[in-house]
């Protein structure tokens, strides 16, 4: 597999992790070998304090048995920018570094620590200016020590090579929508390789493990891609290996076990979220497609890009939020620039009176649209508005209201503060190259001749989008290392000023603003004529000159409808509209098809209606088309009553805000969670649960059996409401109910039998309880 050789080699950097005597570094060499070397690097941290305090701390650290080096040096203090004297400590035990520094902070609470809680693998990247998946030239000594490592590419390259990965996929047979730990019929283990898919469908655990181990050794994959691998599949396989005594070579480094981090629930942006426990392999990469926001949002290309930019190990990057990514970019830049990274946030919010809070804490500017439908509307979007504002106006925690520019700095609208003109802030230094790289990918997405290049550029630009969004949020996040609410408020103040200036420019050039929200405007000619694309391009150029901010024409609409509130038909909603660009692309916000809790059957119906309306080029054409879609809605309604709709297509998916036993009111999600709890499946806050509105109560999707009915009246109302959302602007509406829904029902008024999840059309599969180990029939993993 690999061996120790004295050599220099060109390779890609695959994986790193701390050992007691250094950092393990894995490479994919150009000749196809997978090599591991040990870098004798020692992690470091800094303190401010007296020589006596530093001596006492050195003695404390030395008691742990690892060699400790102490030196006096200078580093830059973040807020003031001044060079201050500090003590640097290097610890010769990377694996024990987190424990040692945590104990030191508890033992010396009066000492200020810096860089002490940065994960060791990230610090290795930051300090040495390296990045995951880098193209490198490595020199490895005969004893396996890494003596030299030179990076040959840059994180800012648009076109960079990637390692020739060997990938192996693992998933359980069964419906993809259903979590395997919650029941449902399961068979064997699907193993996906470059040669195709094989199913290890065996009734004996020893044989299953033996065959899987043989496949892993034969393929020797660099990446193992799983579905529900973190929270379910790998723990089960590891438990089986322990019980049977058959080794399972998940790690390349056979000396170590996989590293497992605990599951957790957390509250963010008004929602309770949950991440499964995570399994990190050594010498290979484990990526769980069901436990990665980045993979879901931007695919593998987006993941590689984020890992490189943020200097996060790939397995970490796949499981962390994009906020963690942008925070890592900030810490990396601070370390490179010699800035001390505080362990705890140290910039409290300045005191503000009630009147001052009303002035500064306004957020983004929104113009309320008029309910109605329009033709020839142009949509203009500022390009990455808030990050661009931060760069253009030098907005960063240390530059807003800085003491050196109280009279000469740039005045921030409404706040009465000024931003620094003498030094560029940390946040702008991080964002400027990221914005430039995203602009490069957007250009490639438009003009690259090869489809593969355009798709790759789109995925990487999408990954940047989420990092840029989070960067603005982190400015005001209370626990952000480099956050400060005044910088957040300054950004939104400039945003409001920019949008107002854009509105004034549009009106001066003969346009009327129909709607505007934070960073985009919808405009039409004020005289009622239909403007051409060059007119809108000219308007965008004028707004760009007046505001100093890049803005582009997102597109021209054949028609655009601003939709009313559900509660008040006379009242519009800022983010509730739908329209069709001249390219035929549909853009919609706030409608049922955009909601995560809308059943798939209803989403598909509404999306189909929009697709038909998207073929029209005017309001008049759309009205005629809408009349012809009435029968389609009726067919969908009749399909509901016929029982041809599968349970997964009727499922409403939502996140639990509490544990199943903590609900005091029987909401549908709580009822479904209780049903799963009775079957031994315990859901935690932030977990997703899917349920179907059944005969008499909601039913968790996983407990649906053949013959279980669903509430046709309720689903009929949901379907008609979704149809009315799309059709009402064109003069077509449906009453609720469209016709008596119980006319063709069986087993009670308004009810219909649903097909169980995963059942076939010809022969519905009857529900059953999961098999247990030792029962007759095919072997099923515990919980299947």
Query: What was the pLDDT predicted at 758?
Result: 45
Range of the domain at 559: 357-423+481-589
- The answer to whether position 214 is within a domain reads no
- The answer to whether position 181 is within a domain reads no
DSSP 565: P
Q: Which residues pair with 73 in a beta bridge?
A: 86
**Alpha-carbon distance 250 to 36, whole Å?**
16
Report whether 634 contacts 664 (CB < 8 A): no
**Alpha-carbon distance 274 to 321, whole Å?**
12
**Pairing between β-strand 259-261 and β-strand 278-280 as defined by DSSP bridges:** antiparallel
The answer to whether residues 600 and 578 belong to one domain is no
Burial class (CB in 10 A: 0-12, 13-18, 19+), 781: buried
Domain edge (last residue) among 163, 180, 215: 163
- The answer to whether position 566 is within a domain reads yes
| Residue entry with tokens 């001390």 | 340
Identify the three-state secondary structure at position 427.
helix
- The answer to whether position 14 is within a domain reads yes
Please give the backbone phi and psi of residue 165, each rounded to the nearest 5 degrees, phi first.
Answer: -60, 145
- The answer to whether position 711 is within a domain reads yes
314: enclosing H helix or E strand = helix 314-319
The answer to whether residues 492 and 620 belong to one domain is no
Indicate which CATH number applies to the domain containing 699. 1.10.132.60
DSSP 95: G
Q: Omega into 695 within 30° of 0, i.e. cis?
A: no
The answer to whether residues 581 and 702 belong to one domain is no
The answer to whether residues 529 and 660 belong to one domain is no
- Average pLDDT across each block of 10 residues of the chain; the chain has 784 residues. List them in order: 67 97 97 96 96 96 91 95 96 96 95 96 98 97 95 97 96 73 72 93 85 96 96 92 93 94 76 84 96 90 97 96 90 97 70 60 85 95 95 95 88 91 95 96 92 94 90 78 89 95 97 95 93 95 96 96 89 92 95 94 97 96 95 92 84 89 86 88 88 89 77 92 95 72 36 48 32 31 31
Domain count, the chain: 3
Query: What was the pLDDT predicted at 348?
Result: 58
317: enclosing H helix or E strand = helix 314-319
Query: What was the pLDDT predicted at 382?
Result: 96
The answer to whether residues 567 and 601 belong to one domain is no
Task: Tell which residue, 210, 283, 263, 205, has the closest CA to residue 239.
Answer: 205
Give 19's contacts (C-beta < 8 A, 6+ positions apart). Answer: 38, 94, 95
Report whether 116 contacts 384 (CB < 8 A): no
Domain edge (last residue) among 103, 137, 163: 163
Q: What is the DSSP string of 206-219?
A: HHHHHHHHHHHHHH
Count of Cβ atoms closer than 10 Å to residue 84 Cβ: 12
Domain edge (last residue) among 163, 187, 204: 163
Q: Which residues pair with 382 in a beta bridge?
A: 551
The answer to whether residues 408 and 516 belong to one domain is yes
**Alpha-carbon distance 770 to 754, whole Å?**
21
Indicate which CATH number applies to the domain containing 372. 3.90.1600.10
- The answer to whether position 504 is within a domain reads yes
Burial class (CB in 10 A: 0-12, 13-18, 19+), 159: exposed
**Sequence-separated contacts (24+) of 104-111 with Cβ below 8 Å:** 104/57, 104/60, 104/61, 105/343, 107/60, 108/53, 108/56, 108/57, 108/60, 111/47, 111/48, 111/49, 111/53, 111/57
The answer to whether residues 738 and 634 belong to one domain is yes
**Alpha-carbon distance 330 to 334, whole Å?**
6
Query: What was the pLDDT predicted at 782?
Result: 32
Prediction pTM value: 0.88
């Amino acid at each position: 597999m690999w061996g120790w050789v004295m050599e220099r080699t060109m390779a890609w950097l695959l994986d790193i992790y701390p050992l007691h005597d250094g950092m393990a570094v894995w490479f994919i060499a150009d000749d196809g070998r997978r090599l591991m070397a040990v870098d004798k690097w020692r992690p470091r941290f800094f303190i401010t304090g007296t020589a006596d305090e530093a001596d006492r701390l050195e003695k404390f650290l030395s008691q742990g048995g690892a060699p400790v080096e102490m030196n006096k040096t200078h580093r830059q203090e973040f807020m003031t920018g001044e060079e201050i004297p500090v003590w640097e400590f290097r610890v010769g035990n990377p694996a024990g570094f987190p424990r040692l520094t945590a104990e030191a902070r508890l033992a010396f609470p009066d000492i200020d620590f810096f860089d002490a809680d940065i994960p060791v693998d990230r610090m290795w990247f930051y300090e040495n200016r390296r990045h995951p998946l880098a193209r490198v030239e490595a020199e490895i000594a005969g004893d396996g020590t890494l003596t030299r490592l030179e990076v040959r590419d840059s994180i800012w390259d648009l076109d960079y090579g990637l390692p020739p990965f060997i990938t192996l996929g693992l998933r359980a047979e069964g419906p993809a929508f259903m979590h395997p730990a919650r029941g449902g019929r399961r068979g064997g283990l699907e193993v996906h390789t470059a040669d195709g898919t094989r199913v290890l469908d065996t009734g004996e655990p020893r044989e299953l493990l033996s065959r899987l181990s043989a496949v892993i050794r034969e393929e020797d994959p660099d990446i193992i891609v799983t579905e529900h691998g973190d929270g379910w599949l790998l723990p089960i396989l590891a438990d089986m290996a322990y019980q049977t005594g058959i080794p399972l070579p998940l790690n390349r480094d056979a000396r170590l076990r996989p590293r497992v981090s605990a599951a957790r629930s957390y509250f963010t942006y008004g929602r309770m979220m949950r991440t499964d426990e995570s399994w990190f392999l050594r010498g290979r990469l484990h990526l769980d497609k069901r436990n990665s926001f980045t993979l879901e949002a931007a695919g593998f290309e987006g993941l590689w890009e984020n890992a490189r930019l943020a200097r996060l190990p790939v397995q970490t990057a796949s499981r962390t939020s994009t906020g963690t990514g942008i925070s890592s970019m900030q810490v990396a830049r601070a370390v490179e620039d010699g800035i001390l990274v505080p362990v705890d946030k140290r910039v409290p919010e300045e005191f503000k009176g009630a009147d001052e809070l009303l002035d500064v804490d306004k957020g983004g500017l929104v113009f309320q649209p008029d309910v109605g439908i329009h033709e020839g509307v142009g949509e203009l979007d500022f390009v990455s508005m808030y990050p661009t504002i931060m760069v253009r106006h030098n907005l960063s925690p240390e530059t807003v209201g800085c003491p050196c520019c109280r009279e000469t700095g740039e005045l921030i609208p409404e706040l009465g503060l000024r931003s620094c003109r003498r030094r560029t802030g940390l946040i702008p230094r991080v964002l400027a190259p990221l914005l430039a790289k995203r602009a490069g990918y957007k250009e490639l997405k438009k003009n690259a001749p090869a489809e593969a290049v355009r798709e790759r550029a789109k995925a990487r630009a999408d990954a940047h989008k989420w990092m840029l969004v989070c960067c603005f949020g982190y400015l005001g996040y209370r626990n952000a290392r480099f956050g400060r609410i005044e910088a957040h408020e300054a950004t939104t103040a400039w945003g409001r000023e920019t949008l107002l200036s854009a509105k004034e420019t549009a009106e001066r050039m003969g346009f009327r603003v129909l709607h505007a929200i934070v960073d985009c405007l919808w405009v039409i000619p004020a005289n009622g004529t239909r403007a051409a694309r060059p007119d809108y391009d000219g308007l965008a150029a004028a707004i760009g000159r007046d505001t100093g901010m890049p803005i582009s024409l997102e597109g021209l609409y054949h028609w655009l409808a601003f939709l009313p509130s559900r509660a008040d038909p006379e009242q519009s909603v800022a983010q509730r509209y739908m329209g069709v660009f001249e390219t035929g692309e549909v853009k919609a916000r706030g409608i049922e098809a955009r909601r995560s809790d809308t059943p798939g059957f209803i989403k598909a119906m509404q999306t189909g209606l929009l697709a038909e309306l998207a073929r029209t080029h005017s309001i008049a054409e759309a009205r005629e088309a809408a009349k012809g879609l009435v029968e389609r809605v009726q067919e969908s309604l009749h399909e509901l009553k016929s029982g041809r709709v599968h349970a997964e297509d009727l499922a409403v998916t939502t996140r639990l805000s509490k544990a199943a036993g903590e609900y005091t009111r029987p909401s549908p999600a709580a009822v479904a969670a209780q049903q799963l709890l009775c079957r031994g499946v315990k859901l935690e806050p932030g977990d997703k649960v899917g349920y179907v509105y059944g005969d008499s109560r909601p039913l968790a999707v996983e407990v649906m059996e053949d013959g279980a009915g669903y509430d046709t009246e309720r689903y009929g109302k949901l379907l008609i409401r979704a149809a009315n959302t799309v059709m009402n602007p064109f003069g077509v509406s449906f009453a609720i109910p469209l016709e008596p829904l119980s006319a063709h029902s069986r087993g009670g008024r308004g009810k219909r039998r649903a097909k169980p999840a995963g059942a076939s059309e010809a022969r519905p599969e009857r529900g059953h309880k999961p098999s247990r180990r030792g029962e007759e029939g095919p072997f099923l993993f515990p919980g299947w």
